[in-house]
Structure 1
Amino acid sequence: MPPTWITAFLDFAPDGFDDGVRFWSALTEYDVSSRRGDADEFATLVPGDGAAFLRVQRLETGADRIHLDLHVEAPRAAADDAIDLGATEVADHGYVVLRSPGGFTFCFVPHRASTRPGPTAWPDGHSSLLDQVCLDIPASSYERESEFWRDLTGWEERASSVSTEFHSLLRPEGHPLRLLLQRLGEQTGDVRAHLDWATTDRSAETARHVGRGAAVVAVHEGWTVLADPNGRVYCITDRKPATGLPG
């Protein structure tokens, strides 16, 4: 059951939630919705155009992380299919929480969404868009995890032109988020994830992020690694914001 939409959740450690939400709202220039949940632990980052694809959550315990919501017509049926592919069920609340074979948390939810938001044009003339989730996969589980996400989404797997350590899943037209699969140098551990931006000018975009409080961690050919004020790592890439493809 392929997802009709994918939402990325920025999950924050309890003491970093407020600062983290302020940073990511300012960085995207997306408004923050009213909080919801039994403890006001959830909110949505609302783009100026298109449907929301970024949400935030304050965790009860634990460190910052990313998880994904896969939007489907029938969450229970989709979860059963995912379990057949190797996922493990955590909880069923009407939305179903699962872990991938490599330990990455994701949910099936029934909410409908459509209309991918467009890139933001900044005053200096460049544009950018947060448009990709990179699954960081330890080497020993890379083949199994890549196969799982390919079969779960039904998206075609494609080798990267940037590095043999990357493969992407080709998102259908109109989806807000690409999925990139990265083979880590480490051999074991749980699969985790980080967010990637696409931009027409990586230097200008990096300066914009640093001006908001981010710190540059490393600069590579084709992408720059940054950390937000809470230490959450993410990247800015040279991909085209309109298409997500290499520039």
Structure 2
Amino acid sequence: MHVRWLTAFLDFPAADFGSEVTFWRAISGSTVSPPRGASKEFASLDPFNGDAHLRVQRIGSGPGGTHLDISVDDPASAALEAVALGARELADYGTHRVMASPAGGRFCLVEWTGETLRARPIRWPGGTISIVDQIDYDVPTAKFDAEIAFWSALTGQDAPGGPDRRTLTRNPALPLQVVLVRSDDEHGGAYIDVAASNLAVEVERHEDWGATVVDRTADRVVMSDPTGRRYVVSARNPRTGA
């Protein structure tokens, strides 16, 4: 399929929606679009330049989470292709299809609405530069090889890397990378990854907005947002993702 655009979707329970949107607006340096949807449940976090690649959704039940929207010309035919590669279709809402990868990773196939311009990273007070530029899927070990094959075939991108972490080759036309991480958690899960030029300064900025550090290595810090959503801040080049 021809992948036109990628969007990270943050799903929030109704009780947390306002405070969570405020947090992620601040972290990403975005403005919030007017709400849309039958119940005004969707909004985009619009960058100061470029097209939106981060969106939010208020959900009626459940703890929320993170998923990937893949924009294509024809979601119906793309869903058939994804199923042929091993995905499952979970729901058909007409405007979009909710899918699960072979390992259970959630994603949606949506109709492309003309996005083409990648946002630029933001330089913050204190000198750090950062951008939300990656979505990571934790994949159970037993399904790791099958998941690599699926995502490579679905997107038409190679997945180089080591035995425990594979990154789909960056398409310079797209705003997000997809990363597959081997995990001991049999349920997997998805989370966003923020590239930062100065890891310590960026983490401190997130803490100032209410996030907490869960785990830390030399080049990667696992964070929890104010309502417990896991995400990562990485010491990577915000302009190239490397």
TM-score by length of 2: 0.95
- Paired with 1:77 and 1:131, the residues of 2 have a C-alpha distance of 27
Q: How does 1:112-127 map to 2 (within 5 A)?
A: 112-127=114-129
1:155 Cα deviation (Å)?
1.0
The residue aligned with 1:145 is 147
- Paired with 2:95 and 2:59, the residues of 1 have a C-alpha distance of 20
**Conservation of the 8 A alpha-carbon contact between 2:2 and 2:73:** no
1:91 Cα deviation (Å)?
2.3
- Paired with 1:217 and 1:88, the residues of 2 have a C-alpha distance of 33
Q: How does 1:86-235 map to 2 (within 5 A)?
A: 86-92=86-92, 93-111=94-112, 112-160=114-162, 164-186=163-185, 188-189=186-187, 191-235=188-232
1:60 Cα deviation (Å)?
1.4
Unaligned runs of 5+ in 1: none
Letter in structure 1 aligned against 2:193? D
Residue deviations 1:212-244, cap 9 Å, x none? 111111111210111000000111111100000
- Paired with 1:183 and 1:2, the residues of 2 have a C-alpha distance of 27
Provide the identity percentage: 39
The residue aligned with 1:62 is 62
- Paired with 1:31 and 1:78, the residues of 2 have a C-alpha distance of 31
**Conservation of the 8 A alpha-carbon contact between 1:6 and 1:69:** yes
TM-score by length of 1: 0.94
**Conservation of the 8 A alpha-carbon contact between 1:2 and 1:152:** no
- Paired with 1:210 and 1:94, the residues of 2 have a C-alpha distance of 37
**Conservation of the 8 A alpha-carbon contact between 2:203 and 2:233:** yes
Q: Which runs of 4 or more aligned residues in structure 1 lie more than 3 Å from their structure 2 counterparts after TM superposition?
A: none
Secondary structure of 1:79 counterpart: helix
CA RMSD of aligned residues (A): 1.2
**How many matched pairs?**
240
The residue aligned with 1:14 is 14
1:62 Cα deviation (Å)?
1.0
1:94 Cα deviation (Å)?
2.8
Unaligned runs of 5+ in 2: none
1:83 Cα deviation (Å)?
0.7
- Paired with 1:116 and 1:24, the residues of 2 have a C-alpha distance of 18
